[in-house]
Chain A
Amino acid sequence: MLLLALMTSTQDIIRRRAQIISTFKEELIRRLNLPLTAQDIHEDVSLLGSGLGLDSLDALEIILCAEGCFKVKFPEDSMAHLRSINTIVDFVIAEQDKQGGQP
């Protein structure tokens, strides 16, 4: 029973995370007109500077994109969350959990 519960838990984590990543990537590609597919964007790739090479104006668009997609509010100094898609997703999941679970 415990093993089954753990398996379900792992699959739940994957499903939830995969859904957030997919939604966010598709919206990011659309908003920033990125010449890549969702599969081409590794979740750990740096969003600003190196990696996707986005600038400070794009950073604002990234925040608006995540806030619009997931109904969360980023703090004023969000640099720590904007390091990669994965760090943004971590923030979104934490905020959703604070609000009482998934939307």
Chain B
Amino acid sequence: MRTSPLRGKFAALGAAFNEQHGREIVTRVADRAAEYAAVRDAVGLTDFSFVQTFRVPEAKGMDFLDSLLAGNVPRIRFGRVLHTFLADEDGMLVGDCYVANNDQEFLFLCESIVPDQEILRVLQGCGMQEAGVEDMAGSYVLLGLDGPRAWEVVKEVFGADVLGLPYLSVEVYPFEGQSVYLFRAGKTGEFGYLLLAPVTVAEALFNKLHDLAQKSGGRCCGFEIHQDLRLEGRFFNIHAEGRRVRDPLVLGLQWMVDFDKENFRGAGAIKQRRADGGKQKIIGVAAAPGSRDLARDAKIFDQGQPVAEVVTDCFSYVLDRQIGLAVFPVELAYAGLTFQLGAPGGPPVNTISMPPIMPKSLKVKLDEV
């Protein structure tokens, strides 16, 4: 099992761990409400080292990545990050990916629903060695800072320059004599940063970030709360609806695909399904306040007939109700409708517009702080 180089740090804080596809994940550090409040009100520090990370030389690696991923890699401008996915040959999702263009190299981050070895097998089959791809697992850690006050922490560590970074960008900053890649990215709706740091400075960086996060009213978090935050912010979650549905077209991920590209992994199957026309679509649903019936696998009924199924759910503290995503036939996939949950005549469930919340970070103007 692959463990994080920071395992000891999180264990000392009383963290709970879980294994997924041969990777150990910090699932929880505090209770759910405290972690949720940290990210929605202040800043949460999370260990994302379970994500696979690769360094790809630009000269040889551009075609390699472009032949693999659904998005257009050559079009990534210097300093910017592409959010796309890796599919299998049937055009079903395998990984949720960031690709960053850092001048002479690309950084490839892959959050997948298969073991590391399987991803490596795919990469090797596509010419990983010839492209000079370096697997950064074990030699780097990936830490996340998310929340309306996350910018305070990164500014303190790397300087005011970080405030100018646009969403989905990357920059390199020195830290104790080493280079740390700072990604402006995140999947909560709040300010989000990912720090990819050499393992030699991992503990020192963690200590500094943890100390500063606490001063900003934040705390360490596990990955479990991010699953809820992603849903509430309507960010794609490969571990929830991604794993369950797997078809990027049903999931509404067409924006991650360059359909003009002749080839990428799974292109034929995805393009064929697109040409055939979609029959299902994922949309947001919400239960009545106080109801706990909206849960994964629950059926949704219309006029006595099952029409949809809930594929992921969470409790939203902001909305004070259970929310989720459900797969509907396209003709019923509209916000503003009421159906029955669990059985004909069951409690009401409403289809809703997503994202259903207004993150606090959207009200912060970084150019005015």
Contacts and interface: CB of A to CB of B under 8 A. Distances in A.
Whether both chains belong to one complex is answered with yes
A86 B353 contact: yes
Given A13-B336, A52-B255, A44 B168 contact: no
Contact of B252 (A7, A10, A42, A87): A42
A44 B363 CA distance: 20
B168 A86 contact: no
Classify chain B: how many residues form its interface, as a range.
Answer: 20 to 34
Nearest to A85: B353
Interface of A: 3, 7, 10, 13-14, 17-18, 35-36, 39-46, 49-53, 55, 79-80, 83-84, 86-87, 89-90, 93
Contacts of B353: 43-44, 84, 86-87, 89-90
B157 interface: no
Contact of B355 (A7, A10, A83): A83
Nearest to B353: A86
B355 A84 contact: yes
Interface string B272-303: 00100110011110000000000000000001
Interface in B210-238: 234-235
Contacts of B358: 79-80, 83
B262 interface: no
B167 interface: yes
B337 A10 contact: yes
Which 4 A/B pairs are nearest by Cβ-Cβ distance?
A42-B252, A86-B353, A40-B254, A44-B354
Interface of B: 83, 166-168, 187, 234-235, 252, 254-255, 258-260, 274, 277-278, 281-284, 303, 331-332, 334-338, 353-355, 358, 362-363
A44 B335 CA distance: 10
B180 to A, nearest CB: 23
Most buried by B among A3, A7, A18, A49: A49
B261 to A, nearest CB: 11
A41 B303 contact: no
A50 B168 contact: yes
A44 B252 contact: yes
A97 to B, nearest CB: 12
A50 B167 contact: yes
Contacts of A80: 358, 362
Given A10-B337, A50-B83, A90-B353, A84 B234 contact: yes
B255 A13 contact: no
A35 B303 contact: no
B83 A17 contact: no
Given A13-B334, A42-B254, A46-B234, A86 B362 contact: no
B356 to A, nearest CB: 9
